[in-house]
Chain A
């Protein structure tokens, strides 16, 4: 009865699909967040044991089988921090992209980049 794993796999696929199928950069970012969350969920699932409780010692019970594995949880705390930092970085880039090109549609940005490149070179300048 491993159907929770199918949820993780489904979310993973949904995230990948969103990143590939959508041309809007913000939607791609949402896909990326779903993708990362699916992996976090996967790690949560591997720590689960049937009939076990949270990994906080209950008085008198000293048996590893009575507790869920805390290590994947700890790993995912780090992974969540990493995911937050990545998302923050991506949002910062999107804000500056929108300021520079006035759009978050991949095609529109590509068009405007190409239009800029066609113009004669100018001294280095910071667009945003």
Chain B
């Protein structure tokens, strides 16, 4: 088993995705435990991958025994091991919350949801594990097509959002593919390690410039980076609750990882302003996303725009590309995945018991104290209050921006946190001090939701307390090979 650790997580979720519809024919109730077992096992395998990397360093796995650069390679290194744990771990916790009592949005289609969610997780894990540019495209599309179906399964306005997501997502993936084509024409290889060796000789070529630009724009679109975030707000606002608990947390993170991997470890465009563009787009995203989040009265749309802002932080760190900023960006991938999952799950639970997602209808904090408290923990992380996780990633990003001598970006980081304080205050105030809506069920969230939510809140605090260990042992080695 140890030899196969690099591919094990995605094989487990893929197997689960195939088994769920078959088992569901016999017993629909078995779909949830089975999906949970598959993604839980994948999360454990991803954790095993981290242990393996810490003990033995980077592992390269030739799929099917075909040696690279001709065969496809799967790479387990500090960065991919870390991101795989984020995606599989947060994915599992959010699947827990779709359990009995919470799946009202899926009364008819439950097994379909679990199969699609597992396929999406397979796609994300594959994007993370892959050491081959074209293979990344294939997994990107596997994840994307299942995401379109998941968003569209909400019906009504979710369908319109899903169609927009299909068109823009396909444009993003196609731009990426076009960029890969340019690089292949230039070097004759698709293997990332091979490309990284051959590309420096072609740094001035127009094909290299075009390839770097197309790949960056395509993946930036996929990660919802301002000004390419057009698909994101509607898709995450109208997605049904179990989907909103999963996709906003992990989908944009996998794309951010793919961008970091190709741009910083393969292309290394030292003579092009691509990384500077990324940093400035990130700075703009932080402010614009936060300002738009302030103006929303629908809690889900508020969270969606907050995602635009928080993805800006990650892009800013990737764009600055110094070791401190990169550690901050990678840590923010973890922190934002956890806090956004917790907040969307919390809002989903409030909507389940209450009367709709408007801020005015969410005043159920006193009836649902556990849900409300976990949301406050996530909100503190979003604002960046020590000792909760979000503080530390923003701290590293701030230090990275200072090291890079970018005063404007420093201000963007600080103002973004201030604005996050305001919009998160609006949400928590509505939950705790709002009028409880008439006719709402006065009960705590279903137990499955509570398990996932409490686990996420504990993990958010643990990531804050353990941040120095994560950064020193995983993220500093991960940032070492960049640019």
Contact B160 A109 (CB under 8 A): yes
Question: Which of A46, A116, A126 is B181 in contact with, Cβ under 8 Å?
Answer: A46
Instruction: Mark interface residues in A65-105 (1 if CB within 8 Å of B CB, else 0).
Output: 00000011001001100100110011011101100110000
**Given A36-B170, A113-B156, A127-B156: A25 and B163 interface contact (C-beta under 8 Å):** yes
> CB of B162 within 8 A of chain A?
yes
In the bound assembly, the distance between CA atoms of A12 and B171 in angstroms comes to 11
Contact A96 B138 (CB under 8 A): no
> CB of B141 within 8 A of chain A?
yes
**Given A28-B167, A42-B178, A90-B163: A100 and B145 interface contact (C-beta under 8 Å):** no
Contact A72 B184 (CB under 8 A): yes
Contact B141 A82 (CB under 8 A): yes
> CB of B174 within 8 A of chain A?
yes
> CB of B100 within 8 A of chain A?
no
CB-defined contacts of B138 to chain A, threshold 8 Å:
78, 82
> CB of B149 within 8 A of chain A?
yes
Q: What is the minimal beta-carbon distance from A5 to any residue of chain B, in angstroms?
A: 11
Which B147-183 residues have a C-beta within 8 angstroms of A?
148-149, 152, 155-157, 159-160, 162-163, 166-167, 170-171, 173-174, 177-178, 181
CB-defined contacts of B166 to chain A, threshold 8 Å:
32, 86, 89-90, 93
> CB of B369 within 8 A of chain A?
no
> CB of A60 within 8 A of chain B?
no
Which A22-61 residues have a C-beta within 8 angstroms of B?
25, 28-29, 32, 35-36, 39, 42-43, 46
Chain A interface: which size bin?
A: 35 or more
CB-defined contacts of B141 to chain A, threshold 8 Å:
82, 85-86
> CB of B108 within 8 A of chain A?
yes
Contact B145 A89 (CB under 8 A): yes
Question: Which of A85, A116, A128 is B145 in contact with, Cβ under 8 Å?
Answer: A85
In the bound assembly, the distance between CA atoms of A28 and B163 in angstroms comes to 10
Question: Which of B105, B134, B167, B181 is A124 in contact with, Cβ under 8 Å?
Answer: B105
CB-defined contacts of A19 to chain B, threshold 8 Å:
167, 171
> CB of A7 within 8 A of chain B?
no
**Given A116-B157, A121-B356: A96 and B181 interface contact (C-beta under 8 Å):** no
Contact B149 A89 (CB under 8 A): yes
Contact A100 B159 (CB under 8 A): yes
Contact A42 B181 (CB under 8 A): yes
CB-defined contacts of A25 to chain B, threshold 8 Å:
163
> CB of B355 within 8 A of chain A?
yes
Q: How many interface contacts (CB-CB < 8 Å) are there between A and B?
A: 94
Contact B152 A93 (CB under 8 A): yes
> CB of B185 within 8 A of chain A?
yes
Question: Which of A32, A100, A126 is B170 in contact with, Cβ under 8 Å?
Answer: A32
Contact A127 B145 (CB under 8 A): no
Contact A113 B160 (CB under 8 A): yes
Contact A126 B157 (CB under 8 A): no
CB-defined contacts of A86 to chain B, threshold 8 Å:
141, 144-145, 148, 166, 170
**Given A86-B166, A89-B166, A93-B162: A43 and B181 interface contact (C-beta under 8 Å):** yes
> CB of B104 within 8 A of chain A?
yes
Contact A96 B178 (CB under 8 A): no
Contact B157 A113 (CB under 8 A): yes
In the bound assembly, the distance between CA atoms of A72 and B361 in angstroms comes to 55
Q: What is the minimal beta-carbon distance from A96 to any residue of chain B, in angstroms?
A: 5
Q: What is the minimal beta-carbon distance from A82 to any residue of chain B, in angstroms?
A: 5
In the bound assembly, the distance between CA atoms of A64 and B160 in angstroms comes to 50
In the bound assembly, the distance between CA atoms of A43 and B160 in angstroms comes to 32
Closest to B154 in A: A126
In this complex, the member of A12, A75, A89 whose beta carbon has the largest number of chain B beta carbons within 10 angstroms is A89
Q: What is the minimal beta-carbon distance from B382 to any residue of chain A, in angstroms?
A: 26
Question: Which of A32, A46, A117 is B185 in contact with, Cβ under 8 Å?
Answer: A46
In the bound assembly, the distance between CA atoms of A6 and B155 in angstroms comes to 41
In the bound assembly, the distance between CA atoms of A117 and B337 in angstroms comes to 29
In the bound assembly, the distance between CA atoms of A90 and B177 in angstroms comes to 20
CB-defined contacts of A35 to chain B, threshold 8 Å:
170-171, 174
Question: Which of A39, A75, A109, A126 is B174 in contact with, Cβ under 8 Å?
Answer: A39
With contacts A39-B174, A85-B141, A86-B144 known, what are 17 further pairs, Cβ within 8 A?
A32-B166, A35-B171, A36-B174, A39-B181, A46-B185, A78-B138, A85-B145, A86-B166, A90-B163, A90-B166, A93-B148, A93-B162, A97-B163, A100-B159, A101-B160, A121-B356, A124-B105
Q: Measuring CB to CB, which residues of chain B are less than 8 angstroms from any residue of chain A? A: 104-105, 108, 134, 137-138, 141, 144-145, 148-149, 152, 155-157, 159-160, 162-163, 166-167, 170-171, 173-174, 177-178, 181, 184-185, 355-356, 358, 361
A-B contact pairs, 10 of them (CB 8 A): A12-B178, A28-B167, A32-B166, A39-B174, A78-B134, A90-B163, A101-B160, A113-B156, A121-B361, A128-B155
